[in-house]
A = this chain, B = another copy of it.
Amino acid sequence: MSHIGKGIVFIGDGMGGRPLPELDGKTTIEAQDTPALDALARGGECGLMDPISPGQAAGSDTAHMAILGYDPFKYYRGRGPFEARGVGIDVRPGDVAFRCNFATVDGRKVLDRRAGRIESGTDELAAAISEGVSHIGEVQCIFAPSVAHRAALVLRGEGLSHEITPVDPHESGVDYWDAKPLPDAEDPEAAQTTADLVNEFVRRSHEILENHPVNQARREAGKLPANIVLPRGVGTAVHLQPIEERYGLHSAMIVEVDLVRGLGHYLKMDVIRVPEATGGYDTDEIAMATAVAAALEDHDFVLANIKAPDVGGHDGDYQMKMEAIGKVDRAIGYLLDHVDFAATTILLTADHSTPCAVGDHSGDPVPVVFHGMGVRPDDVQSYGERPCAKGSIERIRGMDVMPLITSYIGAGKKFGA
């Protein structure tokens, strides 16, 4: 009677949409042929989900937080801590963290935000920065490189704040910005201190990198030097209870986006890398599904995310979005063949809508289907925004997902006697 099943949350990133005239008023999910998703729906319980709350457009980070049960209104203080954790920095509560780019500047002018899309040498550049600017005053500066031009910075010390503006101007050909306190900062003094620190860090990164041997070699090879670090995406780290501690589920994450991966690390999930999962239209969905099925062997819970539908939505390309949804369908088809759904419950959904006609995340709810162990199948016959709206799940929020999954698989705890 106390057998505990396994749980899967499978996310087609940004998969929700709006009706398109090109598709006779259907959404991309509704228009695409999705035999596996429809099979899930036929044997499952369907509904709609507001990832955060009705009408609230969600980021990937806030949506995944909510779906994993961490209220973003309470715990979200910017993406920086997830980025920094994603590149391996042991972020601690109170740290102020940034994602950064190695960039090319001439004086203050940004020639290239990505330093000629630098591919190698950033480990050495990062080591030089770590050595040259390990502290500013009492505050520790922890800097680590990621892939290509990407990196992360953590400031550790007393009296810091995330309420500052970015340094990276988000375009080339203009001057980079000075970090400044937000006008409505709750703690203006901490914000000013932090802005000063960031500006000093940027100045010293330029000093250290300008004539670094890696950049001398790049110049000689006709490449742009990576001669400055531009921080953005600031956030303050808060304590999030590890997922295993919270739900008693040994958990894995198989996703393609660094930001979400960083959240997984932050929650002390096993973050499993699948080399064939590219995060683009060309991702290998069967490799991902295979990894999910394998992870279930020695985990109680797996969260997976295929990024491609969101790319199609941002690109405003409904054909590519439909093809990407086809990839999600094939991944689910693989799982239907390889997972024992008598002892496993899967939620198939999206983290938010990215309608092609909007080209960005919208506040539209996303379709959900719970399938497998413990569910009460309704009579919805296909997966999609409108079909699922008729299902027995009605309308839930992202924060409801983990309580529902743990309930279906018998891992929930009774509240009361």
Interface SS majority for chain A:
loop
Q: Tell me if B385 and A416 are in contact (CB < 8 A).
A: no
Select one of B53, B358, B362 contacting A400, CB under 8 A.
Answer: B53
Q: 8 Å CB contacts to B: which residues of A54-94?
A: 54-63, 65, 72, 76, 79
Given the known A-B contacts A362-B407, A363-B403, A374-B18, are A415 and B72 also in contact in the complex, defined by CB atoms under 8 Å? yes
Q: Are A416 and B376 in contact (CB under 8 A)?
A: no
One of B61, B376, B379 near A18 (C-beta < 8 A):
B376
Given contacts A48-B392, A403-B53, contact A415 B378 (CB under 8 A): no
- Nearest B residue to A384 by beta-carbon distance? B376
**Chain B residue contacts of A27, Cβ below 8 A:** 376
Contact B61 A417 (CB under 8 A): yes
A181 sits at the interface (CB 8 A): no
Give A378 Cβ to nearest chain B Cβ, in Å. Answer: 6
14 contacts between A and B (CB under 8 A): A25-B377, A53-B403, A54-B403, A55-B405, A57-B412, A58-B414, A59-B415, A62-B417, A65-B416, A79-B417, A360-B414, A362-B407, A376-B386, A389-B392
Contact-residue bracket for chain A: 35 or more
Kindly state the separation between the CA atoms of A360 and B415 in the bound complex, as whole angstroms: 12
Chain A positions 2-23 with a Cβ under 8 Å from a chain B Cβ:
18-19
Given contacts A56-B403, A394-B394, A400-B53, contact A415 B1 (CB under 8 A): no
Chain B residues whose C-beta falls within 8 Å of the C-beta of A400 in the assembled complex: 53-55
Q: Is A316 an interface residue (CB 8 A)?
A: yes
Q: Shortest Cβ distance from A79 into chain B, in angstroms?
A: 4
The answer to whether B60 and A417 touch across the interface, beta carbons within 8 angstroms, is: yes
Residues of B within 8 A of A72 (CB): 415-416
